[in-house]
């Protein structure tokens, strides 16, 4: 436990959450010290607990998203369950939900209803396509949203579209929910008003698709799918060295382009070749340019290529595997790993990326389903007999 206060110490979050988006938002609030009470289904909990069993029997998604939370199992469809939710919300600062379309409204847990009953409660709704509008009742999973937002049309190879390798729609929604909740808490602190926060997966990812949207609207054609190469900048992509190492180089400006030609390619005249003299010309003549760069790589090992590119001031990277990423020297050198307890084991976890001076992020255990049910109900005044009765009735 940190000896210094954390920014959200004293803030209580109640979350009817599942899968990725909402749990990612609330885990980040927990990192900052908030108490997060995760409401799960009796008899198994959040279905993301069963996505896989790879982390000592726990799901990799769940371990990543749910540290530092308290888990209570509760049938929110039952009258007794809704009563307990109401008691939890009476003492909460934030309520987050990403239930199925329309479920929160049917349970009386929509923002208008809750804001009238709890004026200081920040309510955050996370949905697929918005609470209102033509697609408000449509299910939305991450890959479906990647499709609808046009992401797959710009990702992959010319003859094959490819999904992004992580749950990017869910993650973007979780990030915007997190920042939206922080903004609402700040607004409440400065004005006394607790604005509701509405996030949709589609609109979160739509924001991230703005650059290709602008490019397409004003250029008349959308960026092509070019695998690991940048669609609108060249040279910017992976090349294979003589020893099989894959090196990605990235040219961002004319100074770097001239330096690449003179110091790495060994021929300053290439920089002023009419085929390559401007950024748009290099993109138009990408195949010829890539052939020149690729030929140079056949003369070098990966380490030699990195050294020459570094000396030339050209940004470059190794194309690493996941095991190589886990062992990355930057993560080790900056001491970014911390042990986190999960049911039955302890695993390393990355510190949150935002480092706050003088603040140690909370890195507490990942809970078992319903682990804190009895303790939380006791806080609400339920006796051991009451708790046994609720459990026998399937409420918890």
Q: Token match 């869910």: residue?
A: 170
Contact between 88 and 96 under an 8 Å Cβ cutoff? The reply is: no
d(CA 91, CA 251): 54
Query: For residue 3, is pLDDT > 80?
Result: no
Please report how many Cα atoms fall inside a 13 Å half-sphere around the Cα of residue 294, on the Cβ side.
Answer: 12
Give the pLDDT of residue 4: 83
Query: For residue 2, is pLDDT > 60?
Result: no
Q: Looking at the chain, how many residues does it have?
A: 396
Q: Tell me the per-residue pLDDT of 20-46, one tens digit each, with 9 for 90 and over.
A: 999 999 999 999 999 999 999 999 999
Q: Tell me the per-residue pLDDT of 82-100, one tens digit each, with 9 for 90 and over.
A: 999 999 999 999 999 999 9
Q: Tell me the per-residue pLDDT of 354-366, one tens digit each, with 9 for 90 and over.
A: 999 999 999 999 9
Q: Tell me the per-residue pLDDT of 156-183, one tens digit each, with 9 for 90 and over.
A: 999 999 999 999 999 999 999 999 999 9
- Least confident piece of the model among 32-36, 137-141, 234-238, 386-390: 137-141
Please report how many Cα atoms fall inside a 13 Å half-sphere around the Cα of residue 131, on the Cβ side.
Answer: 18
Q: Which residues contact 36 (CB under 8 A, 6 or more apart)?
A: 13, 15, 26, 27, 29, 30, 68, 69, 70
- Token pair listed for 229: 């190469």
Query: For residue 291, is pLDDT > 90?
Result: yes
Domains and CATH numbers, the chain: 12-209+336-392 (3.40.50.10540), 236-318 (3.30.1540.10)
What average pLDDT does the segment 264-274 reach?
96
Rounded to the nearest 10 degrees, what angle do helices 21-31 and 168-191 cross at? 50
């Amino acid at each position: 436990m940190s000896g210094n206060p954390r920014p959200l110490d004293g803030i209580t979050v109640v979350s009817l959450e599942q899968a990725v988006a909402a749990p990612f938002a609330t885990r980040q609030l927990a990192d900052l010290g908030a108490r997060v009470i995760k409401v799960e289904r009796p008899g198994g909990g959040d279905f993301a607990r069963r996505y896989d069993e790879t982390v000592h029997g726990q799901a990799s998604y769940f371990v990543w998203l749910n540290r530092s939370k308290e888990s209570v199992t509760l049938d929110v469809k039952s009258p007794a369950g809704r009563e307990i939710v109401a008691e939890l919300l009476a003492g909460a600062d934030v309520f987050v939900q990403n239930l199925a379309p329309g479920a929160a409204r049917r349970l009386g847990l929509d923002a208008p209803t809750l804001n009238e009953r709890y004026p200081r409660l920040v309510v955050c709704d996370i949905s697929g396509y918005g609470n209102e509008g033509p697609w408000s009742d449509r299910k939305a999973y991450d890959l479906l949203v990647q499709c609808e937002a046009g992401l797959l049309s710009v990702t992959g190879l010319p003859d094959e579209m490819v999904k992004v390798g992580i749950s990017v729609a869910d993650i973007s929604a979780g990030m915007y929910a997190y920042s939206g909740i922080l903004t609402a808490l700040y607004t409440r602190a400065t004005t006394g008003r607790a604005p509701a926060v509405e996030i949709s997966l589609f609109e979160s990812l739509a924001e991230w698709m703005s650059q290709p949207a602008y490019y397409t609207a004003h250029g008349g054609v959308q960026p092509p799918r070019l695998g690991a190469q940048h669609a609108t900048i060249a040279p910017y992509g992976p090349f294979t060295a003589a020893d099989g190492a894959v090196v990605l180089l990235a040219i961002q400006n004319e100074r770097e382009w001239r330096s690449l030609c003179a110091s790495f390619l060994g021929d300053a005249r290439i920089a002023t070749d009419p085929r390559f003299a401007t950024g748009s010309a290099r993109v138009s003549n990408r195949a010829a340019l890539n052939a020149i760069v690729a030929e140079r790589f056949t003369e070098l090992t990966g380490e030699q290529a990195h050294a020459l590119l570094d000396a030339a001031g050209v940004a470059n990277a190794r194309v690493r595997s996941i095991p190589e990423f886990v062992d990355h020297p930057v993560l080790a050198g900056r001491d970014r790993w911390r042990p986190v307890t999960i049911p039955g084991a302890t695993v390393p976890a990355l510190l949150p990326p935002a480092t706050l001076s003088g603040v140690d992020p909370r890195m507490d255990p990942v809970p078992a389903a319903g682990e804190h049910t009895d303790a939380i109900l006791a806080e609400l005044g339920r006796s051991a007999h009451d708790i046994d009765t609720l459990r026998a009735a399937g409420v918890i």
